[in-house]
Every structure is written in C-alpha cells, then in structure tokens.
C-alpha cells in the first residue's frame, strides 16, 4: 500500500511550491519584458486570496516563470496568512445546486 504524505501547509512550503526563480524584485510594477523569455508586456501580477491586498508576485503569461515582488521573507510572511484557508475545488462545479449560506 502506498500512502501519500502531504507537507504541512506553511508559508515556506507554499512559497517552495510556486517555484519562483531568482532574487531580483520588481516592487511597484512588473518588468516591461520577462527576464527569462524576453517577451514584452507578458508579465502580470498574481494575487493570492487573503495573503496581500494586491499582486503578491509576478508571472509571465508566455513562459510561466514567476518573479518576486517582495523579498522571499516578506512573501513567505504573507503566504503564512493563508495556511488555514480551505477551498473545496471539487465542490465548486456543483455550488449552484446548494442553498446559499
């Protein structure tokens, strides 16, 4: 019998799962072009529910690479705010059948 062991949800585990490369930060605005694939205008902000009011990091829509907006320490601190959240993704496809809460 194979048993899947899931890591404890912590900010650092969530950060590691994002596979953010590099340490350069673009705090106010995303870079004009992706530093990995050099595609212009393809980098956009990614928000994480309850982590930060605004984009927490940047992602290239062309190559999928993610880039820091804040330091790793600050990003992990914001991700720590989300560890107690649970979203039932499997139940979302039938959510319209349920009585509103």
DSSP H helices in 3-60: 11-18
Q: What pLDDT score was predicted for residue 5?
A: 46
Higher pLDDT, 35 or 85: 35
Compute the distance between CA of residue 70 and CA of residue 50 in angstroms, rounded to an integer: 16
Domain ranges of the chain: 11-97
Q: What pLDDT score was predicted for residue 83?
A: 85
């Amino acid at each position: 019998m194979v048993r899947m062991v899931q890591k404890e949800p912590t900010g650092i585990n969530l950060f590691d799962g994002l596979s953010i490369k590099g340490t350069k930060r673009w705090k106010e605005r995303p870079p004009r072009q992706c530093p990995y694939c050099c595609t212009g205008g393809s980098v956009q902000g990614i928000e994480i529910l309850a982590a930060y009011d605004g984009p927490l990091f940047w992602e290239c829509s062309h190559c999928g690479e993610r880039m820091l907006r804040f330091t790793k320490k600050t990003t992990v601190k914001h991700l720590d705010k989300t560890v107690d959240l649970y979203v039932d993704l499997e139940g979302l496809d039938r959510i319209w059948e349920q009585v509103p809460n």
